[in-house]
Chains A and B, each alone.
Chain A
Amino acid sequence: MSAVLPPGTLAPDFTLPVTPDQKLSLQELRGHPVILAFYPADWSPVCGDQMALYNEILPEFQKFGAELIGVSVDGVWCHRAFAEARHLHFPLLSDFEPKGGMARSYGAYRSGDGISERALFVIDKDGVIAWSYLSPIAVNPGADGILEALEGLAKPEKIHG
């Protein structure tokens, strides 16, 4: 298992394609909490796989103003077909060239297998990792940890505001 970047680390920037003609970078998302969900591959053969599940939970993430981003080494066309089939309402980053480059920078790449780990990161509005979690590759981690981390981010702001 990899050692994923721990809380308190500045989240490595990335600029990767989200569609065949669009790129997304972490810089553009400053000012909002960001949820990065690394997963091994599109098309896992179960109902309510991790991405489909997060898609259903999206409104709960949005209550915190958070942006959810899925990341795998699949290509943009693969992501497009997958997102259409599952009616996903959030972007999927294609960590395809150099393969797994972003996953490596977060400590979430499985070199032997050539895929990313099932790893979760919640990044605060200033780009610092607030929470990270590495799940056993066969276990879909659910969303409870993400929501707790987002709550943790929201609390201090309430005190100041």
Chain B
Amino acid sequence: MANLRPPVTPEDQIQGPEDAPVTLVEYGDYECPHCGRAYSIIKRVQKHFGKSLRFVFRNFPLGELHPHAESAAETAEFAGARGKFWEMHDLLFENQERLGEALYWNLAERLNLPIEELRQALEEDTYKTRIRGDFSSGVRSGVNGTPTFFINGKRHDGPFDYEALVLAIQEQIGRHGNAAVA
């Protein structure tokens, strides 16, 4: 139970090198305050590990709890289709208290993205299928709340503060190193 499936593919939103010894996958929701907290923790973790860590974000909007979670995810994917996923992802988390159309238009403008096309994409649910796909894969993988992390494909069940994540990732790097030596 609780293994990532499907594994990371080029279709995913990915930061970091493909051959990194550790891949950290987050299933997250832009309106979830715990994911907001995790956002800055992940930044620090990425800085700490540099090229040894690949980070992947998959959408897991809890629409019944968070009315803006889905539209925020769509806005990020819209930006992603235009090569600016991570810029939008970061801005959405940094402005988590103000999610909504006014913010989306504002951020699109800041990133030089076409506002009218974003409006249309949200209206026509252009990215909904992709987001539902992420959600279903999360359910299959044993996502049990937001955020849920997978480290090299296995669900991370402990706390997700900086120290705990660094430790868990370090352990994987150790294993990888040993395997390479052997």
Contacts and interface: CB of A to CB of B under 8 A. Distances in A.
A147 B140 contact: yes
A159 interface: no
A144 interface: yes
Contacts of B136: 60
A86 B139 contact: no
Given A56-B63, A144-B1, A144-B140, A48 B157 contact: no
Interface string B1-13: 1100000000000
A48 B145 contact: yes
Interface residues of A, number: 22
B139 A48 contact: no
Contact of B64 (A56, A140, A141): A56
B29 interface: yes
Contacts of B155: 142
B97 to A, nearest CB: 15
A10 interface: no
B32 interface: yes
Contacts of A65: none
Main secondary structure of the interface of B (DSSP, over half): loop
Contacts of B34: 46-47
A48 B65 contact: yes
Interface residues of B, number: 25
B153 interface: no
B142 A56 contact: no
A53 B142 contact: no
Interface in B103-157: 135-136, 139-146, 148, 155, 157
B162 to A, nearest CB: 19
Contact of B2 (A60, A89, A142): A142
Contacts of A57: 139
Given A47-B32, A48-B32, A57-B139, A142 B63 contact: no
11 contacts: A47-B29, A47-B32, A48-B144, A56-B62, A56-B63, A57-B139, A140-B145, A142-B143, A144-B1, A144-B2, A147-B140
Interface of A: 46-50, 52-53, 55-57, 60, 86-87, 89, 139-145, 147
